A and B are shown apart, each in its own frame.
Chain A
Amino acid sequence: MLRIPCPVCGLRDETEFSYGEDASVRRPDMNEADQKVWHDYVFIRDNPRGPHKEYWHHVSGCRQWIVVDRDTLTHEIFGSALACEVAA
């Protein structure tokens, strides 16, 4: 079980969160009409080994989406920030 620092609630159990997705990926603009761009956004994702930015939702806590810096290899967590402040 990971322990995830929530900028609002402090260090909390992983079970209070749900994983979202890769936080380094930016959602295309609403007006983007190119199917390829949307296709790549939805389906083509990296599976990086090592440091990674991830969206987690503090679903059983403050309901904030947060960006967590986590090493996918060691599970080390370096820090987190509110998505509404740092989202890509």
Chain B
Amino acid sequence: MTARRLKTGGRIDRSRELSVKFDGKSLPAYPGDTLASALLAGGQQIVGRSFKYHRPRGVVAAGVEEPNALVHLRSGDRHEPNVQATIVEAFDGLISTPQNAWPSLQFDVGAVNGLLSRFFGAGFYYKTFIGPFGGTKFWMFCEHFIRKAAGMGQAPTLPDPDHYEKINAFCDLVIVGAGPAGISAALAAGRKGDSVFLVEQDRDLGGSLLSEPVGAPSDAWLAQARAELSDLPNVQILTRTTAFGAYDCEVFGLVERVQDHVLAPEEGKPRQRYWVVRAKRAILATGAIERPMVFAGNDVPGVMLTSAVRSYLNRYAVLAGERIVVATNNDSAYTAAIELAKAGAKVTICDLRQAAPPPFVESARKAGIDLRSGHAVLKVSGGKSVKAAHVVRISPGGKIEGNATRIACDLVTVSGGWAPALHLWSQRFGKPQYNEELDAFLPPAEKGTFSCVGSLVGSPSLRDTLSQGHKAGGTIGKEPALFGHADHWGRNLAPLTVIAKANGRTPGKAFVDFQHDVKLADIDQAHLEGYVSVEHLKRYTTSGMAADQGKTSNLNALARMAELRGLAIPSVGTTTFRPPYTPVTIGAVVGHDHGLNFRPTRLTTIHGWHKHNGSVMIETGAWLRPWYYPARGEDINDAYIREAAHVREHVGIVDVSTLGKIAVQGPDAAEFLNRIYVNGFKTLPIGKLRYGIMLREDGFVFDDGATTRLSEHDYFMTTTTANAANVLARAEYLIQTAWRDLKVHVTSVTDQWSAIAIAGPKSRALLTALTGAELSNDALPNNHFADVTIAGVGCRLHRMSFSGELAYELYVPAKRGRQIWEELIAAGAPYNLKPYGLEAMGALRIEKGHITGSEIEGRTTLKDLGLEGFASSKKPFVGSVLRKRPVLEDPARPSLVGLEIVGNTSTRAGSLLYALNAPTKGHGEGWVSSVTYSPALKMNIALALLSRGPERFGETIQVVDFVGNQTLQGKVVSHHFFDPEGHRQNG
């Protein structure tokens, strides 16, 4: 192949040369070029090495269908692998390097794989995996080498320095593809006043018209149309934007490559922008992709799609060869062939039809083309570039006849018909219909809110294409009338793309899927091995599974399968199309939602104080909570043990604002509570609060918390931090569906109230001094609340204990949370008040034997947790029937116990429990749910679920941590380790 840049022509700006490099070599490039056109203009024939056999490969296409020309783009932290050279716009400073070729493009060690091709045939991976060589082990051995030698580009290893953004949008109409059909549709719809998104993956509007010669009649129309569209404020034009996914309800995913066409993004601009567009209807004008032909040597650099060669000629002023053989089975190649001849190339057309329509024959002859009707290319010879085409006669029945004639040439262009780019349509609606005349799968012109226009539906002419777009857009304004060469592809096509000898073989490797190196012989082999489904065929041979998703290979693969099975193509069917149409960078999908911005962080109103006072924070769900407040030199263990011990001796405060809080209001509030809690709530008097437990419908424990009766019809419920949202959703569900007879409302008030727990023997004295209220045991017994005033702020003081100490929870209007916390800190000085964090709170509740999410983990029942006594027998409640399922009543079920760990070592939650002399195999007899060092007991303790646990108090068992590889012993005791009678909290 001796490609060269022509002196004139092309849609490039010759006034400015760009610095563009490939493999260290400078390429002649101008604004308007792609990397691929620059590669061709620079005479770079070999661009990469193939996936399995490391065969030299060159540019095949001019768009997103390119299977071969994958390169590494940029370097350092902007290094990007597997970039198609055909869609990379040339920019000043562009650096690209070959991938998958070591040590060089010209001499590739991996090419030895070509000699081992028997091993790399269809199903190689599967067979190796399950095969006779020791199965998995052999695979693991091979994999290392295969991945190194094959594989695609090198993944980047440095953090991406650029940023990406997401945008949500709404419109009446999405038009995908701004070729003649899409533009025509956008004009009509835009004139109508519809809000329109016109989405085009290219840098320019125009589609196939950009491949017309400069000065063609379509140029004037295109300029006019662009001007009109950009004047319409209701038409949003998105170029460099790919609609990669069509989802239900007319939702489209787009990626706009905002700053991909420059060396580095401008300050403040995102590299890419991810659009989620919700439309009322859609017009797909996505065009069609030319089909290659399958013959021996069809992958030699210098075998290209005819339409691509025409694009390079007219758009980029690159003549891809001097002596050109054009192989075709349809009319569409003639225009290109004639233009190539006019540009100075010596052209031979091998048309495998017996006769092309007379006007084409005449034009070809006039242009000095050697037209060989009823001929096909059987083989291309040449290693690193095309040297000759071996041409044979084709009978009217499609069989080759006689011996091949050698035609010396440097470029072979192929046109095997066209495959409509129906990916988006198929993503949305499934299987398309096969059209025999066009030998293609086509979407219908109308389905649901989708219209398909232009080459996508096999439009026979440019005029028809424009007319279809105009109608689909709404038929407003003058219908564009243009006659041109674009699109008349479908007519008179001979449905034959595989050129093989009578025995079905090709004289050399013939490729169906270039990117994955799938040969015609691999399809044949899969057929011999009994594969019939195209979905299986695809996975077995990996045809169509590369990054290009088979844009050039799918039809040829399934046509071959149909032929082998003696079936028509529609009986074989096509594979399923899934998003994305072209690869989408992870960065675009993620946008700014990473790191701290992955999800919103919830902070309590007291957060600033915690940070200021050195608290180490911990994530609990979306919340950040104080974990511990280390004094100088303390680690977490020192800190929490000190904090917990301090609470038992003096007084401590902890921020519990994260508790779920729900206002339950209405005349039937008591009945509602009575139904969702296992214990009775109808008798709860005003001024009191009660601990309650909820079950799920299936009878397992759901959540626990305290509910306070504020007035006749007004209750205040708390839930665990973790389950706040679930409890509210479930309550709303029941109230709005099954219990519509209840007059009750539930409202989340979690964010309206800060909550502070004050615990320790000195808590009463502190609060009495601070509030001036009468808080004696008679005035405010346990499980009662009082309205108090602190620094002029009305608060509610609930007397209740999670730590087992004399304790209160103070509910403060959220905005005053930090102020009241600081009032407590100041007033607490004489009482030696200290803040404590989540870790100490955990230690205190484990000493007391209180459960949390570690025990209420979805697999435990009331009985398992020793809470059966709470269940009322006088009323039904959610889960009351199913909790009594026989399997849940089994006495062998693991039940809650305490463990005193023998020795000074702490165990770990998740450890498994075994009897003392039992082998430590299998799942054991239970597990550890929570662990802590107990400052009160001066030993390591744990809560655990143990089979028949309460019957085994006093027994010593094995506590095995398989993760930490540690076996300890523990004595089974009651989980109420500390003050089981509750003297301290009730005193």
A interface with B by C-beta (< 8 Å): 1-3, 13, 18, 20, 26-27, 30-35, 38-39, 41-43, 55, 57, 59, 63-65, 75, 77, 82-84, 87-88
Complex Cα distance, B485 from A65, in Å, reads: 57
Across the interface, A30 reaches (CB within 8 A) one of B732, B876, B882, namely: B876
Instruction: Decide if B738 is an interface residue (CB 8 Å cutoff).
Output: yes
Given contacts A2-B248, A55-B737, 19 further A-B contacts (CB under 8 A): A1-B276, A3-B248, A3-B278, A13-B278, A18-B729, A27-B734, A30-B675, A30-B876, A33-B881, A34-B881, A39-B885, A42-B882, A57-B732, A59-B729, A64-B732, A65-B732, A75-B248, A75-B249, A88-B737
Residues of B within 8 A of A38 (CB): 697, 881-882
A-B contact pairs, 15 of them (CB 8 A): A3-B248, A3-B250, A13-B278, A30-B675, A34-B881, A35-B881, A38-B881, A39-B885, A42-B882, A65-B733, A65-B736, A82-B736, A83-B736, A84-B737, A88-B737
B881 touches A57 (CB 8 A): no
Chain B 877-910 interface 0/1 with A at a Cβ cutoff of 8 Å (1 = within): 0000110110000000000000000000000000
Chain B 723-758 interface 0/1 with A at a Cβ cutoff of 8 Å (1 = within): 001000100111011101000000000000000000
CB of A65, distance to nearest CB on chain B (Å): 5
Instruction: Decide if B108 is an interface residue (CB 8 Å cutoff).
Output: no
B736 touches A64 (CB 8 A): yes
CB of B362, distance to nearest CB on chain A (Å): 51
Also in contact, A87 and B738, with CB within 8 A (given A20-B733, A30-B675, A55-B733): yes
Chain B 706-738 interface 0/1 with A at a Cβ cutoff of 8 Å (1 = within): 000000000000000000010001001110111
Residues of B within 8 A of A31 (CB): 876
Instruction: Decide if B569 is an interface residue (CB 8 Å cutoff).
Output: no
B876 touches A2 (CB 8 A): no
B737 touches A87 (CB 8 A): yes
B881 touches A1 (CB 8 A): no
CB of A60, distance to nearest CB on chain B (Å): 11
Residues of B within 8 A of A84 (CB): 736-737, 740
Complex Cα distance, B202 from A8, in Å, reads: 42
Instruction: Decide if B247 is an interface residue (CB 8 Å cutoff).
Output: yes
Residues of B within 8 A of A34 (CB): 881
Kindly count the residue-residue contacts between A and B in the assembled complex, taking CB atoms under 8 Å apart.
69
Chain B 485-517 interface 0/1 with A at a Cβ cutoff of 8 Å (1 = within): 000000000000000000000000000000000
Please give me the residue from chain A that is nearest to B886 by CB atom. Answer: A35
A77 touches B249 (CB 8 A): yes
Complex Cα distance, B847 from A46, in Å, reads: 46
B881 touches A32 (CB 8 A): yes
A1 touches B737 (CB 8 A): no
Complex Cα distance, B248 from A75, in Å, reads: 7
Q: Which of A43, A65, A77 is packed against the most chain B CB atoms within 10 Å?
A: A65
Chain B 46-87 interface 0/1 with A at a Cβ cutoff of 8 Å (1 = within): 000000000000000000000000000000000000000000
B885 touches A35 (CB 8 A): yes
B884 touches A35 (CB 8 A): yes
Q: Which of B247, B734, B736, B738 is packed against the most chain A CB atoms within 10 Å?
A: B736
B738 touches A63 (CB 8 A): no
Complex Cα distance, B733 from A42, in Å, reads: 15
CB of A78, distance to nearest CB on chain B (Å): 12
CB of A46, distance to nearest CB on chain B (Å): 17
Complex Cα distance, B737 from A65, in Å, reads: 8
CB of B426, distance to nearest CB on chain A (Å): 14
Complex Cα distance, B734 from A83, in Å, reads: 10
Residues of A within 8 A of B733 (CB): 20, 55, 57, 65
CB of A80, distance to nearest CB on chain B (Å): 13
Residues of B within 8 A of A20 (CB): 733
Complex Cα distance, B130 from A40, in Å, reads: 43
Complex Cα distance, B422 from A4, in Å, reads: 27
Residues of A within 8 A of B884 (CB): 35
CB of A14, distance to nearest CB on chain B (Å): 8
A3 touches B882 (CB 8 A): no
Also in contact, A1 and B732, with CB within 8 A (given A27-B737, A33-B881, A35-B884): no
B646-676: which have CB < 8 Å to A? 675
Please give me the residue from chain A that is nearest to B733 by CB atom. Answer: A65
Please give me the residue from chain A that is nearest to B448 by CB atom. Answer: A76
CB of A63, distance to nearest CB on chain B (Å): 6
Complex Cα distance, B248 from A3, in Å, reads: 8
A2 touches B249 (CB 8 A): yes
CB of A51, distance to nearest CB on chain B (Å): 16
Across the interface, A27 reaches (CB within 8 A) one of B251, B276, B738, B876, namely: B738
Residues of B within 8 A of A75 (CB): 248-249
Complex Cα distance, B738 from A31, in Å, reads: 13
CB of B431, distance to nearest CB on chain A (Å): 13
Chain B 398-414 interface 0/1 with A at a Cβ cutoff of 8 Å (1 = within): 00000000000000000
Chain B 673-703 interface 0/1 with A at a Cβ cutoff of 8 Å (1 = within): 0010000000000000000000001100000
Residues of B within 8 A of A27 (CB): 734, 737-738
Please give me the residue from chain A that is nearest to B696 by CB atom. Answer: A42
Chain B 803-820 interface 0/1 with A at a Cβ cutoff of 8 Å (1 = within): 000000000000000000
CB of A76, distance to nearest CB on chain B (Å): 8
Please give me the residue from chain A that is nearest to B878 by CB atom. Answer: A30
Residues of B within 8 A of A32 (CB): 876, 881
CB of A56, distance to nearest CB on chain B (Å): 11
Complex Cα distance, B736 from A35, in Å, reads: 24
Complex Cα distance, B321 from A9, in Å, reads: 62
Complex Cα distance, B729 from A35, in Å, reads: 25
B697 touches A87 (CB 8 A): no
Complex Cα distance, B735 from A65, in Å, reads: 10
Complex Cα distance, B881 from A42, in Å, reads: 11
Residues of B within 8 A of A82 (CB): 736
CB of A18, distance to nearest CB on chain B (Å): 7
B737 touches A42 (CB 8 A): no
Residues of B within 8 A of A26 (CB): 738
Residues of A within 8 A of B249 (CB): 1-3, 75, 77
A42 touches B697 (CB 8 A): yes
B732 touches A87 (CB 8 A): no
Please give me the residue from chain A that is nearest to B170 by CB atom. Answer: A11
CB of A22, distance to nearest CB on chain B (Å): 12
Q: Which of B249, B740, B876 is packed against the most chain A CB atoms within 10 Å?
A: B249
> Closest 8 interchain pairs by CB?
A3-B249, A27-B738, A87-B737, A75-B248, A84-B736, A65-B736, A38-B881, A83-B736
Residues of A within 8 A of B729 (CB): 18, 57, 59
